[in-house]
């Protein structure tokens, strides 16, 4: 029984039952039966004081404090009278705000504690794509400008590739190709970063190349390139220790969401939902009828 009382879902359900009871009690009261006593608590006074100091950077005078309390009393009087007149009914903004406040209350009351390693590992395995370490490439390239060379760019690249494979000295590499505005050497670059620089598909072509050999020509958004891939680190799953805090936050968010949905589902079971089918069908048909009418 004690263990059951510590379950977050049980907290939600108890709060839901309490609120339901309060709403029912309020629904049975008439405005005259409602309490006409306004009690400004110590907590409210402390909150007024903290807000004033935070805004003015000084404590309020006695008159200013009386003014704050007077404003709070006026707000409460108007609030109660508005409720008594039913001004909160059929107001979409008020309804939405109250629903949000109850959702926030449910989230604040969720004492989830810390997940076990077994729970974190199970969550990591289930959502492995979120924590995948992206593949990275280290490479250098020689650029041949289509804008400058036109149709000769690809053939010039092939000719220089033949020279490199025949054993051209390293110094000759600097004399090949055309000037490139960006880098000639990239270290440990993620495939997404390479695609942003060179265009779609470029990183995928590099991933197919053998290591430490000049290859090409490979087309990019700029022209064509000869490429020498130095290192290719494949994409792989993360271990728990490297992403523990992120997995823990995601597990808590998911668990909190599950518990809130379960609590709301339980609260909904208290109500009978009746929908006007005729109006619903009319609302569903309305857009197509409007569209067909505009085409005539």
Quote the pLDDT of residue 273.
Answer: 73
Same domain, residue pair 44 and 118: no
Cα dist from 249 to 11, 244, 246, 255, whole Å: 21, 9, 5, 10
Q: Between these two residues, 281 and 30, which has the higher pLDDT value?
A: 281
Residues 6 and 107 in one domain: yes
Which strands form 214-219's sheet, in the order they lie side by side? Answer: 185-190, 136-145, 223-233, 214-219
- Enumerate residues 6+ apart whose C-beta is below 8 A from 147: 223
pLDDT of residue 7: 53
For the full predicted model, state whether its pTM sits above 0.75. Answer: no
pLDDT of residue 294: 43
**Mean pLDDT of all residues in 97-104:** 83
Tell me: pLDDT of 3 over 60.
no
* Percent over 70 (pLDDT), the chain: 82
Q: Supply the CATH number for residue 185's domain.
A: 3.10.50.40
Residues 158 and 32 in one domain: no
Least confident segment among 47-51, 145-149, 153-157, 235-239 = 235-239
The dihedral built from the CA positions of residue 150, 153, 156 and 158, taken in this order, carries a sign that is: negative
Closest residue by Cα to residue 229 from 243, 245, 218, 242? 218
Residue that finishes a domain, picked among 201, 233, 265: 233
Q: What is the mean pLDDT of the chain?
A: 82
Q: For 54-64, what is each residue's pLDDT tens digit?
A: 999 999 999 99
DSSP label of 289: H
Mark whether 97 and 22 lie in a shared domain.
yes
Question: Residue holding tokens 């992120």?
Answer: 246
**Segments of 191-222 assigned E as strands:** 214-219
pLDDT tens digit sequence for 187-213: 999 988 999 999 999 999 999 999 999
Could you tell me if 86 and 127 lie in one domain?
no
Q: What is the mean pLDDT of residues 111-140?
A: 86
What is the model's pLDDT at position 1? 44
What is the C-alpha separation between 140 and 142, in angstroms, rounded? 7
pLDDT for 83 equals 84
Task: Say yes or no to pLDDT of 13 above 70.
Answer: no
62 and 191 part of one domain: no
Structural domain for 104, as ranges: 2-111
| Burial of 140 from C-beta contacts in 10 A (0-12 / 13-18 / 19+) | middle
Domain count, the chain: 3
Same domain (yes/no): 125, 245: yes
Give residue 92's pLDDT. 87
10 and 85 co-located in one domain: yes
Q: Do 197 and 209 fall within a single domain?
A: yes
Mean pLDDT of 275-294: 65
């Amino acid at each position: 029984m004690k263990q059951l009382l510590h379950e977050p879902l049980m907290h939600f359900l108890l709060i839901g039952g309490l609120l339901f009871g309060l709403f029912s009690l309020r629904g049975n009261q008439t405005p005259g039966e409602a309490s006409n006593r306004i009690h400004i608590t110590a907590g409210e006074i402390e909150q007024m004081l903290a807000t004033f100091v935070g805004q003015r950077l000084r404590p309020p005078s006695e008159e200013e404090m009386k003014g704050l309390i007077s404003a709070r009393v006026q707000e409460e009087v108007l609030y109660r009278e508005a409720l008594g007149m039913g001004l909160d009914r059929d107001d979409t903004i008020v309804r939405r705000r109250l629903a949000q406040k109850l959702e926030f209350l449910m989230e604040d009351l969720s004492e989830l504690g810390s997940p076990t390693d077994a729970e974190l590992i199970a969550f990591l395995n289930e959502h492995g794509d979120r924590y995948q370490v992206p593949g990275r490439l280290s490479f250098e390239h020689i650029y041949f400008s289509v804008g400058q060379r036109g149709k000769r760019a690809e053939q010039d690249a092939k000719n220089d590739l033949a020279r490199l494979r025949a054993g051209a000295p390293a110094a000759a590499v600097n004399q090949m190709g055309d000037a490139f505005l960006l880098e000639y050497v990239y270290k440990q670059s993620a495939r997404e970063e390479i695609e942003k620089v060179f265009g779609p598909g470029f990183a995928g072509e590099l991933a197919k190349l053998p290591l430490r050999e000049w290859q090409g020509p490979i087309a990019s958004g700029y022209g064509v390139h000869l490429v020498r891939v130095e290192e290719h680190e494949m994409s792989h799953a993360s271990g728990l220790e490297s992403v523990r805090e992120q997995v823990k936050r995601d597990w808590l968010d998911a668990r909190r969401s599950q518990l809130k949905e379960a609590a709301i589902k339980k609260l909904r079971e208290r109500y009978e939902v009746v929908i006007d089918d005729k109006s619903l069908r009319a609302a569903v048909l309305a857009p197509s009828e409007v569209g067909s009418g505009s085409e005539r």
